[in-house]
Amino acid sequence: MLEIYQIPCLQDNYGFLVHDPETGATATIDTPEVAPINQALAAKGWRLTHILNTHHHFDHAGGNEELKAQWNCQVVGAAIDAERIPGIDVALADGDTLTLGSKQARIIEVPGHTSGHIAYYFAADEVAFVGDTLFALGCGRLFEGTPEQMSESLAKIMALPDETTVYCAHEYTEANAAFAVTVEPANPALQQRVKEIQALRAAGKPTVPTSIGLERATNPFVRSDSAELQAVLNLSGADEVAVFAETRRRKDHF
Ligand code: ZN
Ligand code: FE
C-alpha cells in the first residue's frame, strides 16, 4: 500500500507525499512550497525521489528547481507542457505509465484548467491526484481550455471507480459548497455533505481527500444530467457541455 502524507501549503494549497514502503521511493505531488515539503520528508524520514507535476502553475511547480537541486530527484510532467515544467526529466502523455518504486500510475490528460494538465491514477491503491481539475464540490477555472475540454476531462476522472480516493490541490470546499446549494438546493446528499464540510472546517480539519462516488452524488460540475440543476439553469434537456458551461460561468460570477 502507498503511504500518503498531506501537507498544507501557501494559503489554501495541499501538497502530498506518496511513499512506496517496499522500495522507499517517495514522490511529492507538485511543489507548492519547499519548506513544508521538506519538513514533512524529515518528519517521515523519507528521501524525495520524484516530483510529479499536475500542471505548470507556480503554486504547483514553483518549488521544482529548489527541490530537484536539493534531492537530485526526477521531475515528471506532461509532455505537451514540457517547456513550462521547470526541470522536467520525464515527459508523459495520456495512457502512459509512471513507475514509482514498486507502484505504477496511469497518466490521464485532463486539459481545461491549463492545456497541459495531467492527473495521476494509482489503480492498485485506488487513489488519484487530480491537481486543479476536479475539486471537492468544484472544478478548476478554465484558464486555457474550453468548456468542451473541461467537461471531457472531468468525465475521464469520473470514469474511475466510485471507491477511488481523490486528492485535489486546494481547500476550496466551503466556498464551493456555498455555490453548489444555489444550483441544486433540493439535493439531499449535498445538504448532508454541506453540514459535514462546515463541521470539518469549524474544527480546522481538511475536506480533502474526497471520492469519486461522493463527487458523483454532490458536485454540480459533474452532475450535468441532474434535472434540478438543469431546471435552475433554465437548461432543461440541454446537452451536458451546455449545462457544464453555464454552471462554470455562474460560479465564475458567484
Ligand atoms: Zn492551477
Ligand atoms: Fe492551483
Tens digits of residue pLDDT in 63-74: 999 999 999 999
Nearest to 170 by CA among 227, 113, 93, 112: 113
At 153 the pLDDT is: 98
Is 117 part of the annotated catalytic residue set? no
Ligand 2 centroid – CA 245 distance (Å): 20
Is 56 part of the annotated catalytic residue set? no
How far is 139 from 168, CA to CA, in rounded Å? 10
Neighbours of ion ligand 2 (CB under 5 A): 59, 132
To the nearest whole number, what is the mean pLDDT of the chain? 98
- Per-residue pLDDT averaged across 191-202, rounded? 98
Could you tell me the end-to-end alpha-carbon distance of the chain, in angstroms, rounded to an integer?
A: 41
- Per-residue pLDDT averaged across 105-134, rounded? 98
At 162 the pLDDT is: 98
How far is 187 from 50, CA to CA, in rounded Å? 41
Q: Tell me the percentage of the chain whose pLDDT exceeds 90.
A: 100
Instruction: Indicate which ligand has the atom closest to the C-alpha of 144.
Output: 1
Is 60 part of the annotated catalytic residue set? yes
Category of 72 on φ-ψ map: left (φ > 0), alpha (ψ -120 to 50) or beta: left
Which fold would CATH assign to domain 3-252? Metallo-beta-lactamase; Chain A (3.60.15)
At 12 the pLDDT is: 98
Ligand 1 centroid – CA 168 distance (Å): 11
Question: Where are the domains positioned within the chain?
Answer: 3-252
At 134 the pLDDT is: 98
Instruction: Indicate which ligand has the atom closest to the C-alpha of 32.
Output: 2
